[in-house]
Amino acid sequence: MENVVWRGKPVVWAFADGLAGGAILIAVSLLLPATGFAIASYIAAVGVACGILMILFAVVRACANTYIVTEESVRREYRFIVVRVEEAKYDMITNIVVEQGILGRLLGFGDVRCDTAGTAFLGVLFKGVRKPLQVKGIIEEAIEKRRLRKTPI
C-alpha cells in the first residue's frame, strides 16, 4: 500500500460554469410567465427544474472527485454511481502545469495538470484545488524523493 503524501477535493467554485449556467437558466425561466403565453408557465417549470439539476450536477462533480498524491504516483478518483480512477506514475510525468483564472486567483484555487508521455491518456488533472502552487510543489517534491530512492549509490 502506497503512503499518501497529500489528499484533496476540488472547491465547488471550480465548477462555476455549471453553477452560473443553472442560475441563469432559473432566472430566465422565472421571467417567462410574464410574457403572457399560456404555455410559458410549463416551459418555465421545466427551465427551473433543469437549472436546479445543473447546479446539483456541479456540486456532485465537486464532491465525487478526490485527488491523491502518493510516494509513487498522482491519482484522480471519481466516485458517483460509476467509479473512474486515473493514475500517472512519476516515471511517466513530463510536465506539471498550474492554471488559475480570475475567479481562482480571487478565491485561492486553480488547476494542477500532470502531463504524461507514453500513456493512452493525456495526464491527470486536479481541477479546482486550493493552493495549486503548493500542490504542485508537493508533487515535485514527491517526484524528487522517488528519483533519489531509485538512484543507485
| pLDDT tens digit sequence for 90-118 | 989 999 999 999 999 999 999 999 999 86
Q: Which residue has the cell 472547491?
A: 11
The answer to whether 66 and 76 have CB atoms below 8 angstroms apart is yes
pTM: 0.85
pLDDT of residue 26 exceeding 70: yes
The CATH number for 63's domain is 2.30.29.30
Beta bridge partners of 126: 112
Structural domain containing residue 118: 1-153
User: Where is average pLDDT lowest: 38-42, 53-57, 81-85, 101-105?
Assistant: 38-42
Cell output for 74: 498522482
The total of structural domains in the chain comes to 1
pLDDT of residue 60 exceeding 80: yes
Q: Cβ atoms within 10 A of the Cβ of 23, count?
A: 15
Average pLDDT over residues 105-133: 90
